[in-house]
C-alpha cells in the first residue's frame, strides 16, 4: 500500500468515495483547507453533505439513493487525549420529516428531513482511522445487500453473506447486531464493525447503527439510511499509528492536559466526579429530587411529559441507586481516560435476566416518561434496542405518545393494548416495530406525521387534533430528551433550535445555568447559541461530551498545534464552530426549515406541571418567541430563521 500523508498531521489524509449504485470506490487525498476550516468529524461531514445538497437541491426523500451518508473521525481520534474515541456519522435524517400538510401546525411548511450528526464511541471510529481512512463518503443504493470493508488502506464493497440474515415475520432481515459483529470479527480478526439491525432494514425511521455490540450512532435514523442503501455493515481493521507534527511536544503537553481532566474527575464539587460510578444516571436523582449538586428537581418527565414528578416510592424502583445495584465493571470507549462513564450491568434472575451494559440517563428517563417502573425491564429493553438497532430515546418518545393514543382509543383498530406502565407490552411493541411484525409495529415505525395521518385516517378527520395532541414528536420532531421541556425556557430553546431536530439535548445544555438563575431572554439566547457552536467543535474534534478540558484554552490549543501543526487561536477555533453550525442551519433551510418549525410548541407542553418543586411551570409561547428573536440575532440570522447562502 503506498504511503499517503496529508499535508496536515493528525489526520490520515485519505477520503474514500463509495458509490453503491455503480459499485465503485475512489480514494482521494483529504483537502487540507477544508480540514482546517471545518476541523474534522461533524464539521467536515457537514461540508461534504452540503456540497452535494447545493449541487442537487432539496433532498425530498432521505430514504432515496440521493442521501449521502458519511462515516469518519477527526485529527484527535486515536491519540491519548482523554475521550478521543468518538466518531461521526452524518446524513439527512429520516425522523425529522413533515412533507405533507399538517393541519395542527399553524402555517405549516413542508420539511424533508434535517442534517443529522450522530456521535458514537466504542472502538470503531478509531479502528477506521487505523485502517487509513478519515471519511467514508457513501452515495447511491446497492441492488443487492452489501457490506463495506476498510482494511489497511483499502476499501471494498462485498456481497453481504446470506448467513448474516434470518427470516422473521416473513421478511429476510439482518441478524442481531451482536451476531453480525461476531461473524464479521471472525472473518477479519481484530476488526471492528458498525452494522444495521432488523429495524434499519425495515426502514424504521428511528433505527440506529450499532458498533462494537452496544455503541450507537443513535439519533436521527442512520440505520434506516443504511437499510435504504442495502448496506448491512462497515468493518474496519488497521494498524496505522497517528502522526504528530511535534511528537515530543505532544507528549509533554498531553501529560498536562491529562492531569487537568484527572483533577476534574477527582473534584467532588464537579459533576464529572460522579461519572465513573453512576455514568449519566446521576441525572435521574438530580432531575427528580435535586440530589447530586442540584437544587430541587421536579423535572423528570412522567406520563408523556404531562408531569415532572411522581410518587417517590415509585421513583425509588428506577432511581440512580436502583441502577447502581445492577452495575458491574467499566466498559468504556477506546481512548477514554478518567471519565469512564459506561459500566456493564447484569440482572441475575426473573423474566429480564441477562448481561449487558447499564442504560444511560436519557434512555431511562424517557422510559420513565412511559411510566415504566421496572428497572429490569428497562435494562432488558436497552439490550434489545442495541441488538435490534433502535434508538432508545426516540423509541421512548414514540411509545409515550402511542400509550396515550392507545388509552384514548385512537389505536384500537391497529390492535393496540398499550398502556402507560405496561413493561411487557412495551417490550413486545419494540420487537413488533423492529421486525415490522404487525400493523401496529409497522405504524409506529414511521416518522410521526405519518403515524398521525394513518391513525386519523382510521379514526376520522374529527379525531385529528386529539391525535396530534398526544404526539410530542409531531412536525418533524426527534423527540424531547429526559429533562422536562416544561421546566426551563432555555432548555426548551435548545430543544427547539437544535440543528438535528426538535427535542435534541446535546447541542446546547442550559440546566445548571438556569438552576443558577439565568433567565433573561437575551442571556438565554446567547447561552444556547454559544453552546451550539461549542458542541459543534467537540463533535468535530472527535471528543466526547464529557471531556472536561477547555478546548479553547491554551493547554488544549498548544496540544492540538503539536498534533496537527494548525495554529488555531481561541477565536479562530470558535469561528470554526460558528461556521459549522451556520452551515448545518443553511442545509436545514434548504430542506424546508425556518422559524415556523422552531416556533412550534406541542399543545400539551403549554399545560402547567401540577406536582413537585416546579409546579406551575409550562412553556410560555410568548416568552419563547422573544427568546427566539434574540437567538436569531445572536447568530446573525434573519428573524425568519434563515441563513444567507454560504
What residues line the site for ligand SF4 (CB under 6 A)?
83, 85, 121, 332-333, 336, 339-342, 544, 546
* Nearest CB to ligand SF4, comparing residues 320 and 588: 320
Q: Nearest distance from residue 83's CB to ligand SF4, in Å?
A: 4
Instruction: Give the Cα separation of 320 and 282 in Å (integer).
Output: 6
State the Cα–Cα distance between residues 227 and 247, nearest whole angstrom.
42
Taking residue 162's Cβ as centre, other Cβ atoms within 10 Å add up to: 9
Do 510 and 471 meet the contact criterion of CB atoms below 8 Å apart?
no
d(CA 445, CA 78): 36
Q: What is the nearest approach in angstroms of ligand SF4 to the Cβ of residue 367?
A: 20
Alpha carbon 572 to chain centroid, angstroms:
27
* Closer by beta carbon to ligand SF4, 546 or else 568: 546
Closer CB to ligand SF4, 85 or 298, in the complex:
85
What is the residue-wise DSSP string for 196-211? Answer: --HHHHTT-TTB-EEE
**Residue 8 or 544 with smaller CB distance to ligand SF4:** 544
- Least separation in angstroms between CB 498 and ligand SF4: 19
Nearer to ligand SF4, 545 or 633 (CB): 545
CB–CB of 377/353 below 8 Å? no
- Cell 432555555: give the residue: 490
Pick between residue 85 and residue 389 the one whose CB is nearest to ligand SF4.
Answer: 85
Q: In the bound complex, what is the minimum distance in angstroms from residue 122's beta carbon to ligand SF4? A: 8
Q: By C-beta, is 224 or 333 nearer to ligand SF4?
A: 333
Q: What backbone torsions phi and psi does residue 462 show, to the nearest 5 degrees? A: -65, -20
Q: How far is the CB of 433 from ligand SF4 (least distance, A)?
A: 26
Find out whether 37 and 576 touch, Cβ atoms under 8 Å: yes
d(CA 107, CA 325): 50
Least distance from ligand SF4 to the Cβ atom of residue 313, Å: 31
Contact 338, 330 (CB under 8 A): no
Main-chain phi, psi angles of 307, to 5 degrees: -125, 170
**By C-beta, is 505 or 579 nearer to ligand SF4?**
505
- Kindly tell me which of 212 and 454 has the beta carbon lying closer to ligand SF4: 212
The CA-atom distances, in angstroms, between 42 and each of 134, 292, 346, 508, 619 are 12, 32, 34, 16, 31
Residue 499: which of 109, 50, 96, 119 has the closest Cα?
96
User: Would you state the cell numbers that stand for residue 296, as one nine-digit string?
Assistant: 430541587
**C-beta of 465: minimal distance to ligand SF4 in Å?**
41
Question: What secondary structure does DSSP assign to 112-124, as a single string?
Answer: E--EEEEEE-SSH
Grid cell listed for 312: 417517590
Distance CA 475, CA 448 (A): 7
Closest to ligand SF4 by CB, 342 vs 540, is 342
List alpha helices for 153-206, DSSP H. Answer: 177-187, 198-201
Q: Residue 564 has which C-alpha cell?
A: 496537527
- Give the nearest distance from C-beta 507 to ligand SF4 in angstroms: 17
User: What minimum distance in Å lies between the beta carbon of 608 and ligand SF4?
Assistant: 35
In this structure, are residues 578 and 642 in contact, taking their beta carbons and an 8 Å threshold?
A: no
**SS3 (DSSP) at 297:** coil
Nearer of residues 222 and 538 to ligand SF4, judged by Cβ: 538
Query: Taking the complex as a whole, how short is the minimal distance between the CB of residue 283 and ligand SF4, in angstroms?
Result: 14
Alpha carbon of 520 to those of 98, 184, 523, 616: distances in Å?
A: 32, 54, 5, 19
Strand partners, 173: 166
Least distance in angstroms from the C-beta of 333 to ligand SF4: 3
* Least spacing, CB of residue 552 vs ligand SF4, in Å: 20
Nearer to ligand SF4, 222 or 398 (CB): 222
CB of 219 to ligand SF4, least distance (A): 15
- Nearest CA-CA partner of 21 in 55, 58, 81, 64: 64
Closer by beta carbon to ligand SF4, 77 or else 532: 77
Q: Residue 451's closest CA among 402, 415, 417, 406?
A: 402
Q: CA dist 14 to 72, 138, 187, 453, Å?
A: 11, 14, 25, 45
Element (DSSP H or E) covering residue 134: none
Shortest spacing between CB 256 and ligand SF4, in angstroms: 20
Phi, psi of 229 (to 5 degrees): -95, 5
Q: Which is nearer to ligand SF4, 207 or 332 (CB)?
A: 332
Amino acid at each position: 500500500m503506498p504511503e499517503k500523508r496529508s499535508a496536515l498531521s493528525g489526520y490520515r489524509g485519505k477520503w474514500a468515495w463509495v458509490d453503491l449504485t455503480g459499485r465503485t470506490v475512489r480514494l482521494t487525498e483529504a483537502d487540507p483547507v477544508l480540514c482546517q476550516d471545518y476541523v474534522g468529524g461533524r464539521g467536515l461531514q457537514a461540508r461534504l453533505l452540503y456540497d452535494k445538497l447545493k449541487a442537487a437541491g432539496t433532498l425530498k426523500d432521505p430514504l432515496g439513493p440521493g442521501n449521502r451518508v458519511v462515516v469518519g473521525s477527526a485529527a484527535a481520534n486515536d491519540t491519548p487525549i482523554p475521550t478521543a474515541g468518538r466518531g461521526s456519522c452524518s446524513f439527512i435524517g429520516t425522523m425529522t420529516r413533515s412533507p405533507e400538510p399538517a393541519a395542527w401546525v399553524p402555517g405549516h411548511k413542508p420539511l424533508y428531513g434535517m442534517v443529522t450528526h450522530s456521535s458514537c464511541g466504542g472502538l470503531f471510529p478509531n479502528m477506521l482511522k487505523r485502517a487509513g481512512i478519515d471519511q467514508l463518503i457513501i452515495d447511491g443504493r446497492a441492488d443487492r445487500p452489501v457490506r463495506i470493508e476498510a482494511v489497511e488502506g483499502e476499501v471494498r464493497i462485498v456481497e453481504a453473506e446470506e448467513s448474516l440474515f434470518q427470516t422473521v415475520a416473513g421478511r429476510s432481515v439482518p441478524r442481531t447486531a451482536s451476531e453480525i459483529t461476531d461473524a464479521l470479527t471472525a472473518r477479519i480478526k481484530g476488526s471492528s464493525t458498525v452494522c444495521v439491525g432488523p429495524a434499519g432494514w425495515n426502514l424504521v425511521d428511528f433505527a440506529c447503527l450499532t458498533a462494537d455490540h452496544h455503541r450507537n450512532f443513535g439519533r436521527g435514523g442512520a440505520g434506516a439510511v443504511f437499510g435504504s442503501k442495502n448496506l448491512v455493515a462497515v468493518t474496519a481493521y488497521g494498524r496505522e499509528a497517528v502522526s504528530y507534527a511535534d511528537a515530543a511536544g505532544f507528549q509533554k503537553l498531553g501529560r498536562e492536559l491529562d492531569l487537568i481532566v484527572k483533577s476534574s474527575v477527582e473534584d467532588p464539587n464537579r459533576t464529572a466526579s460522579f461519572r465513573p460510578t453512576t455514568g449519566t444516571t446521576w441525572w435521574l436523582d438530580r432531575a427528580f429530587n435535586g440530589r447530586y449538586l442540584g437544587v430541587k428537581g421536579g423535572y423528570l418527565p412522567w406520563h408523556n411529559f404531562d408531569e415532572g414528578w411522581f410518587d417517590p416510592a415509585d421513583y425509588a424502583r428506577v432511581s440512580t441507586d436502583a441502577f447502581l445495584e445492577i452495575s458491574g465493571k467499566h466498559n468504556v470507549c477506546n481512548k477514554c481516560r478518567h471519565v469512564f462513564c459506561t459500566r456493564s450491568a447484569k440482572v441475575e434472575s426473573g423474566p429480564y435476566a441477562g448481561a449487558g451494559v447499564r442504560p444511560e440517563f436519557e434512555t431511562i428517563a424517557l422510559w420513565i416518561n412511559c411510566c415504566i417502573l421496572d428497572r429490569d425491564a428497562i435494562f432488558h429493553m436497552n439490550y434489545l434496542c442495541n441488538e435490534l438497532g433502535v434508538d432508545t430515546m426516540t423509541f421512548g418518545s414514540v411509545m409515550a405518545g402511542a400509550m396515550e393514543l392507545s388509552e384514548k382509543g385512537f389505536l384500537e383498530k391497529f390492535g393496540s393494548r398499550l398502556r402507560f406502565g405496561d413493561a411487557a407490552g412495551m417490550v413486545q411493541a419494540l420487537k413488533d416495530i423492529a421486525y415490522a411484525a404487525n400493523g401496529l409495529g409497522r405504524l409506529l415505525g414511521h416518522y410521526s406525521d405519518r403515524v398521525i395521518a394513518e391513525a386519523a385516517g382510521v379514526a376520522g378527520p374529527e379525531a385529528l387534533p386529539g391525535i396530534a395532541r398526544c404526539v410530542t414528536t409531531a412536525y418533524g420532531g426527534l423527540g424531547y430528551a429526559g429533562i422536562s421541556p416544561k421546566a426551563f425556557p432555555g432548555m426548551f430553546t435548545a430543544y427547539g433550535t437544535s440543528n438535528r431536530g426538535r427535542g435534541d439535548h446535546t447541542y446546547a445544555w442550559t440546566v445548571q445555568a438556569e438552576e443558577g438563575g439565568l433567565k433573561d431572554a437575551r442571556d438565554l439566547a446567547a447561552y444556547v447559541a454559544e453552546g451550539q457552536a461549542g458542541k459543534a467543535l467537540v463533535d468535530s474534534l472527535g471528543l466526547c461530551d464529557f471531556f472536561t478540558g477547555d478546548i479553547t484554552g491554551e493547554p488544549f490549543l498548544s496540544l492540538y498545534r503539536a498534533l496537527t501543526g494548525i495554529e488555531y487561536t481561541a477565536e479562530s477555533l470558535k469561528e470554526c464552530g460558528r461556521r459549522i453550525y451556520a452551515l448545518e442551519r443553511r442545509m436545514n433551510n434548504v430542506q424546508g426549515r425556518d422559524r415556523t418549525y422552531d416556533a412550534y410548541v406541542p399543545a400539551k407542553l403549554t399545560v402547567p406541571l401540577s406536582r413537585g418543586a416546579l409546579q406551575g411551570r409550562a412553556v410560555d409561547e410568548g416568552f419563547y418567541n422573544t427568546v427566539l428573536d434574540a437567538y436569531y440575532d445572536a447568530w446573525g440570522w434573519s428573524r425568519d430563521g434563515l441563513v444567507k447562502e454560504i
